Copies of this chain bind each other. A is one copy, B any other.
Amino acid sequence: MTLTLHSYFRSSASARLRAALNLKGLSYDYVAHDLVAGHQRAADYLAINPRGLVPALVLDDGTVLVQSLAIMEWLDETHPEPPLFPADVNGRARVRALGHMLAVDIHPLNNSGVLRYLGDEFGADEAAKKRWFTHWVATNFGPLERMLAESPETGTFCHGETPGFADCCLYAQIWRNRFVEFDLAPYPTIARIYEALDALPAFVDSAPPSQPDAR
């Protein structure tokens, strides 16, 4: 099966999906859309994804999958090995919840479209955008650190000794945090898991500098 990934090197929604594709050992054709230049709103891309966001994953038969978290679930259902989730249902719920604390509760507030709109609507300058960004990361990283640090299910990675769904979300968010040079010192468990992920090719290869459109 040939997979075509519509992506942007700095997009953290794309990055978490790239990590999941890499963990599954799947190769894909990479189509870059420069979000800063607004290429995701070109008519030819809106015909693929009417919402004009990346990532989108296009299958052999032309089927278009959108929404990174939905695509990651599809990947796990169609390519079960290695799994992105543990086998037990409560563990699966834990891994999804940890991932969603990052990908649902932080990222939608801090993506480039929202930061641009803060400037347009409220006259937010760069410093105000960075305060906004930092606020939502910190608001969620505190509880996330506590949930990771206090659970016996946390291992080398977010859940045990196998990197999975939550780790894909975590690694992409830490990269995204470079926008504000976010300090991980108050979050030792998160920092430790990030370091473990950053030693794995599947994750390093998902990071912005490894993409064909990196600059």
Contacts and interface: CB of A to CB of B under 8 A. Distances in A.
A144 B59 CA distance: 21
B101 A109 contact: no
A61 to B, nearest CB: 9
Contacts of A78: 89
Contact of A96 (B53, B70, B118, B132): B70
Contacts of A101: 51, 67
A195 interface: no
Contact of A105 (B90, B108, B147): B108
Contacts of A53: 105
A93 interface: yes
A85 B159 CA distance: 26
Given A104-B108, A108-B105, A131-B121, A73 B51 contact: no
Nearest to A123: B122
Contacts of A114: 109
Contacts of A131: 121
Contact of A51 (B51, B96, B105, B124): B105
A148 to B, nearest CB: 10
A121 B117 contact: no
A interface, how many residues as a size bin? Answer: 35 or more
Contacts of A104: 67, 69, 103-104, 108
Q: Within the oligomer, what is the number of copies of this chain?
A: 2
B89 A74 contact: yes
Nearest to A131: B121
B50 A73 contact: no
A92 interface: yes
A93 B74 contact: yes
A210 interface: no
Contact of A73 (B49, B74, B92): B92
B108 A93 contact: no
A196 interface: no
Contacts of A108: 104-105, 108-109
A174 B124 CA distance: 30
A100 interface: yes
